[in-house]
Each structure stands twice: as structure tokens, then as C-alpha cells.
Amino acid sequence: MTNKNLEKLSSSYLFSQIGKIIEDRKNVIDLSVGDVKLPLPQEVTEAARRAADELCRAETFRGYPPESGYDFFKRAVATYYSRRNLEVDCDEIFVSDGIKSDMNLFLSVLERGKVLLPSPTYPAYAEANIIRGNEVIYYDVTPPDEAADIVVICSPDNPTGRVMTRSELSAWVEYADSAGAVILFDAAYEAFVKDKDALRSIFEIEGARKCAVEFCSFSKTAGFTGVRCGYTVVPKECGLNDKWRRVKSCCTNGVSYITQRMAECALTTAYDKVVENTAYYLQNASLLLDALEGGEVTGGKNSPYIWLRCGDSYKEFFKLLDMYGLGVTPGAGFGKGGEEFVRINSFALRDDIIAAADRLKRYMFCK
């Protein structure tokens, strides 16, 4: 018998639907699905080659990896946090193949209950919780009056590009503390935060280690959407560390040695190149923001996403697509709160961004 909750999902995932519509058009600059375009730094692919060479010699061959990650990987992640003055123990770090699957799996550590999701929201959160049978409630930046069991926070946010302020995040930590809720903090875009006083980790908030788990990914920060690697930090104080280790050990067999060597390299030897790549996308975002001057936008600073208020989101999506040859994502696809917006991403090569900016300028002029 199939899981009845599957019937509550739409027939296909938002980005597959949009991808199909755009695919059928010619000469479209696609700024819809947020997939990276810059190649990996050469140091990272050399790390992959070296790791692969080790696997073809008996003395250095490796089989199953440790489920929570190799020590060298966890040390690199712990050092990455310590460079930001945050202390994370290697036993609190768990390697993953990315946030989408790890956050989904993490739900199996938690009892079924009420989950608070941002509105608008990254569709995978809603769908994963619906499949598990959780009751989904939406919030708008600040904590509601009612109590919940799970709170999902995304900062910098997809789709709005907003970065939560210290006081907003502190309010959520206080809320979780008093409601006995757990915060699942999605830091997929933390590396795009360049302002010195903007936060990149929930653990910068006092008390967060008692109630929050942080999900990180190399997908957008290091160009690993195809390689697949991420990590989840589960502090010992939150009481879920052992349970998560148990779930990981029965549900996954870790991440390949080659991938973890590549990720280690992205945080160490190739780190400057990785930072250059995020800076490139942010420069793209800045060019797009210039083109949208006068429009009502959030994001594009400390975030690769721009969220533009434009009126009926599907109508404007088709207008941008068919009249201007520009693919964006209709905000309504991100649920309640997105109906009057489109999301524009800056993951493209510069020539495409320059052409897209020109098309956006014309669109804004004719609005």
C-alpha cells in the first residue's frame, strides 16, 4: 500500500515543471532553477584525481566510508567554523550527500508533529514534511503565538534572498527554547553572506546549541550540485546527536572517499577560488539589481537570489519568458506569500547576465 500522504503532493516538483516549460522555448536565458555554472576549481578536481589513484592501489584502497564522515573531512569542517570563531566538535559533524536528502532523513529522528515553515518556502521542505505526515503551518519571519515541534529556518533564504537578523534569530531560539521545539537551520547559502555583521550560522546565537541543528552544503557554495556533498551539525547539547548517529548508521553508508577529499580541498587549498566563485555570482546579482532599479526587491545582497514583486506571478513568468526570453521562477510555486513575485537567480555566466539585465531593464520600463 502506498503512503496516503503522497496524494497530497502536486503531480511534479516545482523545478521540474518550470524546467520543462522553459526547455520547450528557444533562445531563453534561464535564471529559474538555481544551478551553478562555473566549473570546479582545478585544485578540487586534482584532489579527486589523487583520491581516485589511491583507490587503485591495494595499500591505499578504501571500502565503506565511516557513516558520519572521514576524520580529515570533519576536521576541515570544524576548522571552517573555527575561522568564524565558532566551536564545533568533530563528533557533532556528519557528512551528507546534500541538504535535501539529509534534512528529509533528519525528520525520522523527530516525532511526527507540527512543523513551522517559512512563507514563501523552498518546496522540498513542505513536500518532505507532508510525506512524513507532519502538520505544516507557515510563518512570516517572526515566531507565531502557537507552539510547534519543528521550525525550519533558511537564511539567506530561498526564495526571498533575505538574511535573518540577529534579533530575528534570537527570537526563534527563545521560541524553540520555550516551546521545546527543534530548529532545523538551512545554511545552504551561508557562503554568500559577505557583510561582516550579517549572520552565517545559527550557532552565532546564544543558546542555539541547545535547540538547533544546522544543515550545510557544498552545492552552491563550492559548485558541488553535481558532485553531491554536505554536512549536518548536531550539537551534543540538543539531545539529538546520538539519535542522529543511530539513524545515519542504519539508513546511509556515508559519502565516497573521493567526494570527501574534494570537499576537504574546497574548504582548504581551494578555498580562495571557491570564495572567488561566490563573489562572481554576487557580482551577477548586483548587475541584475541595477537593472531592476525602482522595482520592489529583496535579496541579491548576501544572497544569489532576487525576489521581485511584479503582480500575478505566473502571468509575469510567461510574459518574461515569451516576450523577453528570460526564464525565472514564478513565486506562487513557493507557496503562500509568493503569488505576486518572481524569483531570479544569479547562477549564470557573465555574458548571459549582461543580456538578461538588458531584458529585465526593458521589462521594467514597459511595466
Q: Give the binding site for ligand PLP (CB under 6 A).
A: 34, 98-100, 122, 154, 158, 186, 188, 217, 219, 225, 230
Complex with ligand PLP: residue 104 or 355, whichever CB lies closer: 104
* Amino acid present at 155: S
3 state SS of 86: coil
3 state SS of 148: coil
Rounded CA-CA distance 294/364 in Å is: 8
Residues 258-296 as b or e (16 or more Cβ within 10 Å = b) = bbbbbbbbbbbebbebbeebbebbbebbebbbebbeeee
Complex with ligand PLP: residue 256 or 324, whichever CB lies closer: 256
Residue whose grid cell is 496524494: 7
Q: What's the closest the beta carbon of residue 275 comes to ligand PLP, in angstroms?
A: 19
Q: Please say whether the beta carbons of 102 and 232 come within 8 A.
A: yes
Q: What's the closest the beta carbon of residue 217 comes to ligand PLP, in angstroms?
A: 3
The answer to whether the peptide bond before residue 143 is cis (omega within 30 degrees of 0) is no
Angle at which helices 257-267 and 271-291 cross, to 10°:
70
Rounded CA-CA distance 233/61 in Å is: 28
Q: What's the closest the beta carbon of residue 189 comes to ligand PLP, in angstroms?
A: 7
Q: What's the closest the beta carbon of residue 208 comes to ligand PLP, in angstroms?
A: 19
Q: What's the closest the beta carbon of residue 99 comes to ligand PLP, in angstroms?
A: 4
Complex with ligand PLP: residue 186 or 264, whichever CB lies closer: 186
Complex with ligand PLP: residue 98 or 143, whichever CB lies closer: 98
Q: What's the closest the beta carbon of residue 100 comes to ligand PLP, in angstroms?
A: 3
Residue 183 corresponds to which cell in the numbers above? 530548529
Complex with ligand PLP: residue 104 or 269, whichever CB lies closer: 104
Complex with ligand PLP: residue 125 or 175, whichever CB lies closer: 125
Rounded CA-CA distance 268/218 in Å is: 13
